[in-house]
C-alpha cells in the first residue's frame, strides 16, 4: 500500500496512507500526540521503577523513541515490546528522521531502535530493551510470562481498521496486564470505552491532545 510522508502541525512528520485516508499520527502534531497520549498519560503515569510496555503498532518507532529517551533520562529500566504487521521501509525511516527533532543521543537511539532485529529482545541502552514482534495482532497470542504495566494502543482508527478494536483483542491484552496496568489510546469513542470496561479496565476520559477533545485511559484495578 502506498504511503506518503506528510508534515504535521508541530513540525514533526508522519506517514499518510491515501488508500485508507489515514495517517500514523495526528495531523495536529505527531510528536505532541506521542508525548502526551502515550508517554505522559501512559508511561509516566505508572509508578513502576521498571515498567514493561506493550505497544500495538510499532509503525515509525516514534513512541519507542520518546519512551527510550524518557527511560534514559529518568534511569527507569524499561522493557518495550511492540507488535507490527507492516514494517516501514529504510527510506521512510530516513525521511522521518525523528532523532533530529531532539539531539545527537536521540539520532543514535532512533537508529538503534530501527536496526534492532525483529523477534529478538535487544538491549538498546542501559535503561531500555526492545522486542519488536513482526506479527499480526489479530492472530497473536501472549505467553503466560508476558505481563505488562503499560499498554500503548496505537492502531489505526476504529473507523478505518475496526478489526483491531474488538473485544477478543482487548481481552487478550487485558489478560497480559499486571495489576494496576495502564491502557492508553488516542480514541475517545464511547463504544471503545464500553468494550474496554467490559474486559475489566476501569475507564476514564482525559483531555485529548491538540485537535482532540478527549482520549481514553483504563486501569487494571
Ligand X SMILES: C[S@@+](CC[C@H](N)C(=O)[O-])C[C@H]1O[C@@H](n2cnc3c(N)ncnc32)[C@H](O)[C@@H]1O
Question: Which chain residues interact with ligand X by CB under 6 A?
Answer: 24, 34, 57, 59-60, 62-63, 83-86, 136-138, 154-156
Least distance (Å) between residue 56 CB and ligand X? 7
| Nearest to ligand X of 94, 202 (CB atom) | 94
Rounded Cα distance, 54 and 87, in Å: 17
Unique residue bearing C-alpha cell 514482534: 133
The full length of the chain comes to 221
Shortest reach from residue 64's CB to ligand X, in Å: 7
Q: Which is nearer to ligand X, 69 or 155 (CB)?
A: 155
When the beta carbons of 67 and 179 are compared against ligand X, the nearer one is: 67
Q: Shortest distance, CB of residue 201 to ligand X, whole angstroms? A: 20
How far apart are alpha carbons 146 and 137 in whole angstroms?
14
Nearby residues of 113 by Cβ (< 8 Å), 6 or more positions away: 61, 64, 65, 68, 124, 130
User: At closest approach, how far in Å is the CB of 25 from ligand X?
Assistant: 6
**Contact status, residue 172 vs residue 69, Cβ threshold 8 Å:** no
Question: Toward ligand X, which CB reaches closer, 49 or 95?
Answer: 95
Amino acid at each position: 500500500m502506498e504511503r506518503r510522508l506528510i508534515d504535521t502541525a508541530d513540525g514533526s512528520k508522519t506517514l499518510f496512507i491515501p488508500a485508507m485516508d489515514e495517517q500514523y499520527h495526528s495531523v495536529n502534531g505527531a510528536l505532541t500526540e506521542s508525548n502526551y497520549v502515550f508517554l505522559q498519560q501512559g508511561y509516566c503515569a505508572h509508578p513502576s521503577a521498571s515498567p514493561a510496555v506493550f505497544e500495538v503498532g510499532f509503525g515509525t518507532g516514534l513512541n519507542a523513541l520518546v519512551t527510550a529517551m524518557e527511560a534514559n533520562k529518568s534511569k527507569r529500566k524499561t522493557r518495550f515490546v511492540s507488535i507490527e504487521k507492516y514494517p516501514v521501509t529504510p527510506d521512510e525511516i530516513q525521511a522521518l528522521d525523528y532523532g533530529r527533532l531532539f539531539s545527537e543521543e536521540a539520532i543514535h537511539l532512533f537508529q538503534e531502535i530501527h536496526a534492532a532485529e525483529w523477534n529478538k529482545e535487544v538491549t538498546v541502552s542501559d535503561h531500555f530493551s526492545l522486542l519488536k514482534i513482526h506479527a499480526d495482532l489479530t492472530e497473536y497470542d501472549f505467553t503466560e510470562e508476558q505481563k505488562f504495566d503499560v499498554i500503548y494502543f496505537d492502531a489505526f482508527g476504529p473507523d478505518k481498521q475496526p478489526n483491531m478494536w474488538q473485544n477478543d483483542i482487548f481481552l487478550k491484552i487485558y489478560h497480559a496486564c499486571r495489576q494496576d496496568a495502564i491502557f492508553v489510546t488516542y480514541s475517545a469513542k464511547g463504544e471503545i470505552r464500553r468494550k474496554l470496561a467490559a474486559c475489566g479496565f476501569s475507564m476514564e476520559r482525559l483531555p485529548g491532545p491538540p485537535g482532540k477533545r478527549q482520549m481514553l485511559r483504563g486501569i487494571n484495578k
